[in-house]
Amino acid sequence: MSDWIKVGETTDFGDEDVFGADANGTPVAVYRVGEDVFATHDICTHGMARLSEGFLEDGLIECPLHQGLFDVKTGEAAGAPCTEAVRIYPVKLDGEEIYVQFE
């Protein structure tokens, strides 16, 4: 069974923006790319930095520690020194509320 946890609202951030949330003890980065919202684990797989403190552009989040890149839609590493994907989470919107699914 999967749990949906509210992590914020679309009014919390604008296009090409990211914020960090705590989802029952799990650090989550929530991204807005156009009208779409995505979520990944907030910790970089390379250097233990918070991706929510990085720079988001064209659907890629840049880790603030070593400037590695991840695709926020797929979680795939998209630039050195990152080679391991970051976990992604399903997202659903209920009005302005953003929910992330955990298993």
39: domain CATH number? 2.102.10.10
Domain of residue 62 covers 3-102
Judge contact between 76 and 70, C-beta under 8 A.
yes
- pTM of the full structure: 0.93
How many domains does the chain fold into?
1
The model's pLDDT over 48-98, given as tens digits with 9 standing for 90+, comes to 899 999 999 999 999 999 999 999 999 999 989 999 999 999 999 999 999
Task: Please state whether beta strands 55-57 and 60-62 pair in parallel, antiparallel, or not at all (unpaired).
Answer: antiparallel
Q: Which tokens in the block code for residue 11?
A: 């009014």
CB count in 10 Å sphere of residue 68: 25
Calpha distance 63→21 (Å, rounded): 16
Q: What are phi and psi of 82, to 5 degrees?
A: -75, 130
